[in-house]
Structure 1
């Protein structure tokens, strides 16, 4: 009896939906109930699926749903769970505000759940719920888990997120849950949604029986009648009941491995449609507000001017390209750019049409093999200059530069404003150095792709392997996204770091290398001291 008094007697035999309805109270004191939100029924029924992604609108109730799922796994399945958030500060705040309020509204949860001496750690019967911030790799590698929950995915450091996936490797359950408002098309939560089976909620009209995806029909399906804003069928004008719908996957062949849902605000009954319409009206002709509206209301990620290279931009690039991937090149001098890491990413660029650049070749290679590979690429592609990141492996970067026999090599640092050349080291250990402003340099590269018609082109693939690499290249280009240092309107926007945009960075270095080699091809980087860098490098080639 003493143990039951201390811990509380466990409810037994409840499925997740029953447990939520019995034990979870919402902010208004009402029990959690799916009957008012029919789109949740299938999602809750799929909670046993190994991997689930929710691309959601704001304030759609998924933090509550998955917080409940975390506690359910502790209470009913005797499992350990990690709830990941972008930073430890956010995690601690969530644990002491949302979590504590969640528990305090339920007598049963108060009797079962115990706090510990550690902030962000809760216990039921020697099983634990951890709240962890992922701003550092330490939060990603230290705790074993049966279920990882990722909230606010688009704000999480993606490399740390990738490290954290191993936390479930030893579990026979091994559940992954990702849920977030999507901020940028093709990356973050949207990329995970696209990798799943892509379920959308199709609402059936009671009048004409037409099925429709309401976020895709917006704003044509909103009308104001006698002062009331209503959601209607775009075909016959009958008011829609969003509970009369079903989930249909676009990619059913992926269902076994990964279920993914797009959940806009519009499919949640009870939301204030007049408020949504007013917000839409106020966003007109204001790109940043329109982007936020699409993200938070329609669950349609839109980076606005914070994502220079979008799917639409890449579509124009594909249409403009009329050449194929190359294994070698002799027509003109080329530039080679390398983004350094455990895996080095390489891009080769050649000039076209005066200020334009066509990219000929891409590859990814283990850094240990880079020096030997560069010796081949230098000759195969008639390289005039090569630019490689100085960091994180400066010794290898210098070895690459010193291995060149025909091209002029530079190690690259991001600092200062204008492009500058100097040297580093002494005697035969001297290497050339180029410094550029990271944000200005990336702006010059993304502008070449985004201009109409594009001045940066990508090759057509010849093989399935090349097609896969080019898909990765496009994905990395879309990840050249910006963020503001502060929320204020006048805060500068800078390109995000610690993002999987390696080919994008290699492309930027290849553009700089091409200018250094030829003095043309792409936007001209800022020079100092009146030096015509392109001519000096060509002269050094002694051809």
Structure 2
């Protein structure tokens, strides 16, 4: 299951369109600059965030400002994964102002939520624009108090957030910026990016974010789509040293503290040379920044605090020692916010590969048929992920079959499983293809229940038998058409289901003995569906605290977040466990285990 597709931040659609019409209808467009971004900033930008703006003595940042990849056509855009407070958000603000000063275009600037969009628009971007006289004169008077739309001459920037309510797919955009990608669903980002597909003018796209989880969000984009440029600091080694590569949770291998003077400095462990992190290593055609995967679609940069002009080696060492002493999420924050590298704290992952290995019984075989088994199925678009289990006398459950059905006939696979395994109870995701799911449920009345996630006091609510369900819910259109539905509390059911692996309450047959052909990692191929797919899904979801409302209020709730891919088998596995919980024997276990 996933959230709705992202839409434009909305005061109203009409207000957005009026802004677009104004920008298109300007008859007295201001003269455009022909300066590069770096030269335009040097000529026009003085103060940013109450600090003197300068690129002097900052070769890593200056090189990014002077990167003309989007103008010379070598790359469609940029992807930057960074540490916090490295001045890269300021770079994006100035880049959009320069674009509007150089071109006539419309920019969509995306942020994770409305609060952040308004803060960036009103408290940061607008204040920077007001310090630049040439742009201040072009600012439209009726936009001065608008946090959603800001127009300069014949160019407009639209401040947007993921998941807004207004539908603006038809609004022409020439450039997209995704800021703080780590807090966005990668599927939503890619769907929004499609809005540039019909544009024949620019198609500029930029991604920028502090680091998040491995293989997810910004890390996915940088790894899969960019040329991944790393900063090589000068030392005696032929390729210099990438300082951020020498930070590990167990130790820092690039910072030394003089025992006599107390001085803290960077050094290269290989050649033992003292290192100035900002001094670039010249490597043939490259100086400092060098791509790991040349020729990729996007220009990619990794910008850690080790190459920041405002963060000293001593500060980095103190932060590391503090994180080491605190443990847990403190080390995660250190790597994400200071080293700019994706990291997940081990205590956030409920189910690990070691837990799954402990559940294996290689003497057991996968089954093709059975009697009185249970089914869970999660659907997404044209794919269905199915888990079949049987309940053992000791109240453990055994995996007996896994399947992925793809294409327009995917539901035919569920009909086949219902018959082959004589399924007693199936719990099937009711969305996205509700009609097909409803038809399946009606074909097996009282055996197939349609599932949806709701915040509940109870982990599982069967709508056909729960006396606590409100009368208006029982009278709802869907309940009248199909009474065989179940509401699941997402957090409770996922945690309980995953912990059944942790507690060795699931038995897994030989994980190398079940193969399937499916789309995996972007291509159709034969895979070990248990070893490769199920295990990857079960270990790529984390449990974390999320602030409720303003973080200053101190209220939090527990949520589950995906690491990279959408782990469909996590949900189908939980649905299958819910199906077993409908039996009287298992229901008693659930009541005893879940508070």
* TM bin (shorter chain): 0.7 to 0.9
What is aligned with 1:491? 556
What is aligned with 1:215? 244
Written as runs of structure 1 = structure 2, the 5 A alignment for 1:176-215 is 176-197=205-226, 199-209=228-238, 211-215=240-244
- 1:442 is displaced (CA, Å) by 0.6
- 1:518 is displaced (CA, Å) by 11
How many residue pairs get matched?
515
What is aligned with 2:427? 387
**In structure 1, what is the Cα distance between the partners aligned to 2:418 and 2:448?**
10
Cα pair distance change 1:260/1:206, threshold 3 Å: closer
Contact 1:51 1:175 (C-alpha < 8 Å) held by counterparts: yes
What is aligned with 1:509? 575
Deviations 1:302-347 (A, max 9, x none): 232684268xx35885898798xx9962367643222245445322
**In structure 1, what is the Cα distance between the partners aligned to 2:171 and 2:347?**
35
What is aligned with 2:342? 301
Residue 407 of structure 2 is aligned to residue 347 of structure 1: no
Cα pair distance change 1:380/1:55, threshold 3 Å: farther
**In structure 2, what is the Cα distance between the partners aligned to 1:328 and 1:20?**
67
What is aligned with 1:267? 307
**In structure 2, what is the Cα distance between the partners aligned to 1:371 and 1:155?**
33
Residue 35 (structure 2) aligned to one of 4, 10, 14: 14
**In structure 2, what is the Cα distance between the partners aligned to 1:489 and 1:234?**
43
**In structure 1, what is the Cα distance between the partners aligned to 2:298 and 2:358?**
32
**In structure 1, what is the Cα distance between the partners aligned to 2:267 and 2:191?**
45
2:275 match: secondary structure: coil
2:525 match: secondary structure: helix
Q: Mind listing any 5+ residue stretches in structure 2 that lack a counterpart?
A: 1-26, 282-287, 466-473, 518-523
Residue 309 of structure 2 is aligned to residue 257 of structure 1: no
- 1:496 is displaced (CA, Å) by 5.0
- 1:61 is displaced (CA, Å) by 1.4
Residue 131 (structure 1) aligned to one of 151, 155, 159: 159
Cα pair distance change 1:319/1:443, threshold 3 Å: closer
Contact 2:377 2:384 (C-alpha < 8 Å) held by counterparts: yes
1:379 match: secondary structure: helix
- 1:224 is displaced (CA, Å) by 1.9
Cα pair distance change 1:139/1:29, threshold 3 Å: farther
Contact 1:386 1:408 (C-alpha < 8 Å) held by counterparts: yes
Contact 2:359 2:507 (C-alpha < 8 Å) held by counterparts: no
- 1:453 is displaced (CA, Å) by 12
What is aligned with 2:59? 37
Contact 2:384 2:410 (C-alpha < 8 Å) held by counterparts: no
**In structure 2, what is the Cα distance between the partners aligned to 1:404 and 1:465?**
33
Cα pair distance change 1:400/1:416, threshold 3 Å: farther
- 1:295 is displaced (CA, Å) by 0.7
What is aligned with 1:107? 133
1:141 match: secondary structure: coil
Q: Mind listing any 5+ residue stretches in structure 1 that lack a counterpart?
A: 1-5, 530-543
User: Which range moves more in the overlay, 504-513 or 488-497?
Assistant: 488-497
Contact 1:349 1:514 (C-alpha < 8 Å) held by counterparts: no
Residue 109 of structure 2 is aligned to residue 83 of structure 1: yes
Using structure 1 for the length normalisation, give the TM-score: 0.80
User: Which range moves more in the overlay, 469-478 or 25-34?
Assistant: 469-478
Using structure 2 for the length normalisation, give the TM-score: 0.73
Deviations 1:233-265 (A, max 9, x none): 12243221223243344444xx33233332211
- 1:58 is displaced (CA, Å) by 0.6
Residue 63 (structure 1) aligned to one of 72, 86, 89: 89
**In structure 2, what is the Cα distance between the partners aligned to 1:322 and 1:210?**
48
What is aligned with 1:526? 591
**In structure 2, what is the Cα distance between the partners aligned to 1:203 and 1:42?**
14
